Structure 1
Amino acid sequence: MSVIYILLTISIIVAIVFFVAFIFAVKNGQYDDSYTPSVRMLFEDELVKEKTKKPIQSKD
């Protein structure tokens, strides 16, 4: 039973370490996207081709 307490304590400590590392990486700009804004201007005004609708022919 004491092994469960030890494993639980170790897993919580490891989770806290990973959380702190994640927060540190976010604050230092590790996940900032520096590539997409420079490419977005090339594709922003892309023309959208609409399908032309054929008129419905009635049988009279």
Structure 2
Amino acid sequence: MNAIIFLIPISLMLAGVALIAFLWTLRTRQYGDPEGDSHRILLAEDAPLTIKPVPR
């Protein structure tokens, strides 16, 4: 029962930190363009991967 006295405030503080971090990500617009991110991974801008022979 004594452990609950310590665990409840610690869990509430951790939840508060997580909430503050989430609100900070919203404020800095890190979720501003989900459509652009989903289309960007489909574009083939990189050069094709070539396999070099291993010298013996």
Same fold (TM over 0.5): yes
> Take 2:2 and 2:31, find their aligned partners in 1: how far apart are those partners?
40
Deviates more, 1:13-22 or 1:2-11: 2-11
Extract unaligned runs of 5+ from structure 2.
Answer: 38-56
What aligned pairs does 1:4-19 form with structure 2 within 5 A after superposition?
4-19=4-19
Q: TM-score, normalised by structure 1?
A: 0.54
Per the alignment, residue 50 of structure 2 pairs with none
The offset of 1:14, in angstroms, is 0.2
Q: CA RMSD, aligned part only?
A: 1.9
1:10-56 CA distance string (max 9 Å, x none):
100000000000000000001111617xxxxxxxxxxxxxxxxxxxx
Of all paired residues, the percent bearing the same amino acid is 33
Size of the aligned set, in residue pairs, is: 37
> Take 1:25 and 1:16, find their aligned partners in 2: how far apart are those partners?
14
Q: TM-score, normalised by structure 2?
A: 0.58
SS of residue matched to 1:29: coil
- The structure 1 segments of at least 4 consecutive aligned residues displaced by more than 3 Å after TM superposition are none
Extract unaligned runs of 5+ from structure 1.
Answer: 37-60
Question: Which of these two proteins has the greater Rg computed from alpha carbons?
Answer: 1
